[in-house]
Amino acid sequence: MSRRIRGLLVALVLLGVAAFTVIKIQGMLQRGEPVFWLAELWAPAAVLSIGLVTCIEFLLPQAPLAVAVPVLAASKPSTRKKARK
């Protein structure tokens, strides 16, 4: 599976989590139950933030691998004799 497809699947799962959370909270409000927003949104917010970072990571182009740099051979000492003064 390619990275782009994984990123799109992660995005769809995140949308599903968000939709489930919205439907759950709307149901609670319609039944007249008190909604403690911090408690209700804590877990979905954590999942969405981690998932969003993962999704962005999958959708960005992959960084190139380290390129091997050719190693230059050490220069050989000169074989010429030094001129005498």
pTM of the model: 0.58
Query: Within a domain: residue 74?
Result: no
Query: Within a domain: residue 14?
Result: yes
What pLDDT, in 10s, does the model give residues 24-60? 989 999 999 888 877 787 888 888 888 888 888 888 7
What pLDDT, in 10s, does the model give residues 65-82? 666 667 776 666 666 666
Query: Within a domain: residue 23?
Result: yes
Query: Within a domain: residue 20?
Result: yes
Query: Within a domain: residue 39?
Result: yes
**Burial of 13: CB neighbours in 10 Å, binned 0-12, 13-18, 19+:** middle
pLDDT of residue 30: 94
Query: Within a domain: residue 10?
Result: yes
pLDDT of residue 31: 94
User: Total structural domains in the chain?
Assistant: 1
Query: Within a domain: residue 79?
Result: no
Residue 40 CA to residue 23 CA, distance in Å, equals 12
Query: Within a domain: residue 9?
Result: yes
* Greater model confidence, 13 or 38: 13
- CA distances, 34 to each of 1, 17, 26 (Å): 44, 21, 11
pLDDT of residue 41: 79
Dihedral, CA of residue 26, residue 28, residue 34 and residue 40, to nearest 10: -70
| Residue span of the structural domain in which 31 resides | 3-59
